[in-house]
Amino acid sequence: MITTARFFSFALATILVAGCAGTKKTSSANTIPSLKDAFKDAFDIGTAMNNAQIEERDPAAAVLIPQQFNVVTPENIMKAEVIHTGWDQYNFDMADKLVAYAAKHGIKVNAHTLIWHSQMPAFMRRVKDADSVRQYFNNHINTVAARYDGKVYSWDVVNEALNEDGTMRKSIFLQSLGDDFVVEAFRLAQKAAPNTKLYYNDYNIEQPKKRAGAIALIKKIQAAGVRIDGVGIQGHWRSYDLPLENIEKSIQEFAALGIEVMFTELDLSVLQNPGPVTADVGQTTGYTDRINPYKTALPDSVQQQLAKAYGDLFSLFMKYKSNITRVTFWGLNDGQSWLNNFPVRGRTNYPLLFDRQFAPKPAFYAVIKTASK
Ligand code: G3I
């Protein structure tokens, strides 16, 4: 059975491919502006990529990604649970494919992520003693970071090590290796991947308390004489309450540390969250129709609100273009976003610049407009 999304994806690709071959120029998608070109003097523009996109099995995405983006982040396939399959075993298949894809299209790769308490390899569930955790930590960084040195542009070395109040999260790494595990991760990564940029990545670090925690963490790495090149503010926000003031303060305060500032997982949910506002994949709740109000279409007022929020955000990014090096969207089109399943499974969300048929939304044009202001 061919689903509607698949049909539209195929139809768009046909138009795009025909357009590229110069035989037909009817699709607006073929003539839409390019994000990476529009912002080429300001910062890189990225997207997260899923398996079908990496393997170029998604025809519309295969055309759109190289046209719109100059950097990509693997949404899942370089996480430890995928890449580190046994104590001494690794599966580099998809990551190698990504590197080959990026080389073929002249796109940079931001590798994601070396040390994260979530999505740990299955074999680590049985491991409890500190010595073994230390050994895993060393092996993982030394093997994976070294393999891709010079092949990827950058690594999210440590992901989400902080609590909302700015204290360190009581992860398996903190409990087994102590407070210094973040410094240690960067020290090992620096040695294993001397030609790769090294970043700390987290969500909600634009918020004052968590931001203070991130600044303290970055200063600690710097004070230890260990290299950290940048910080990634994930940017999982909502179109109806964008924290612009805190985002601006974060850019200023992180830039003052002398490192790159990036927005690494940008999406703006249009749906209300039933629980606390977080990107912690462990926190999900049950589905009800009431909390899935836009099942078939997005009302125009909400579409406009989303476009305005994106426009405001990119105007701010342009104001600080000398401090910001990259803005990456967490997914290509609305149908492919993790937000359709978080924090509630099976909702219909609209957080990105391209709709489910890969057509640019009003938000896309609102973003493009900020590039020439
Ligand atoms: O790979 C399996 C597949 O074999 C299986 O059929 C399918 C059934 O549900 O699950 C697949 O794995 C899922 C994977 O996404 C790939 O689709 C996992 O269950 C699911 O938990 C996983 O979710 C990802 C999540 O991180 C956890 O790793 C999301 O796609 C991804 O967008 C999200 O990304 C995180 C960043 O890495 C860190 N910051 C927050 C961000 C959003 O949570």
Ligand 1 pocket test, candidate residues 116, 155, 283, 338, most atoms within 8 A of CB: 338
Nearest residue (CA) to ligand 1, atom 4 = 82
pTM here is: 0.92
Q: Does residue 156 have its Cβ closer than 6 Å to ligand 1?
A: no
Q: Which two tokens stand for residue 70?
A: 């100059």
The rounded percent of the chain whose pLDDT value lies above 90 is 86
In which band, very low, low, confident or very high, does the pLDDT at 94 lie, cut at 50, 70 and 90? very high
Ligand 1 pocket test, candidate residues 53, 73, 76, 202, most atoms within 8 A of CB: 76
Lowest mean pLDDT among 105-109, 249-253, 273-277: 273-277
Question: 226 with 196: CB under 8 angstroms?
Answer: no
In which band, very low, low, confident or very high, does the pLDDT at 366 lie, cut at 50, 70 and 90? very high
In degrees to the nearest 10, what's the CA dihedral of 309, 310, 312, 315?
180
Q: Does residue 338 have its Cβ closer than 6 Å to ligand 1?
A: yes
Question: 246 with 274: CB under 8 angstroms?
Answer: no
Predicted pLDDT at 290: 86
Phi, psi at residue 156, to the nearest 5°? -80, 95
Amino acid, res. 74: P
Residues 6 or more apart whose Cβ sits within 8 Å of residue 271: 238, 291, 292, 293, 294, 339, 347, 349
The residues pairing with 360 across neighbouring beta strands, listed in sequence order, are 354
Q: Options 3.20.20.80, 3.30.70.1380, 3.10.20.600, 1.10.3210.10; which CATH number does 3-370 get? A: 3.20.20.80
Q: Where are the domains of the chain?
A: 3-370
Predicted pLDDT at 23: 36
Q: Does residue 34 have its Cβ closer than 6 Å to ligand 1?
A: no
Q: Which two tokens stand for residue 189?
A: 């990564």
Amino acid, res. 137: F
Mean pLDDT of 142-163: 98
In which band, very low, low, confident or very high, does the pLDDT at 275 lie, cut at 50, 70 and 90? confident
pLDDT digits (tens, 9 = 90+) for 298-323: 999 999 999 999 999 999 999 999 99
Look-up: residue for tokens 């100059």? 70
> 290-322 burial string, b = 16+ CB within 10 Å, else e?
eeeeeeeebeeebbebbbebbbebbebbbebee
Q: Does residue 103 have its Cβ closer than 6 Å to ligand 1?
A: no
What are the catalytic residues? 160, 265
Q: Does residue 297 have its Cβ closer than 6 Å to ligand 1?
A: no
Lowest mean pLDDT among 1-15, 23-37, 130-144: 1-15
Q: Which two tokens stand for residue 114?
A: 């070396």
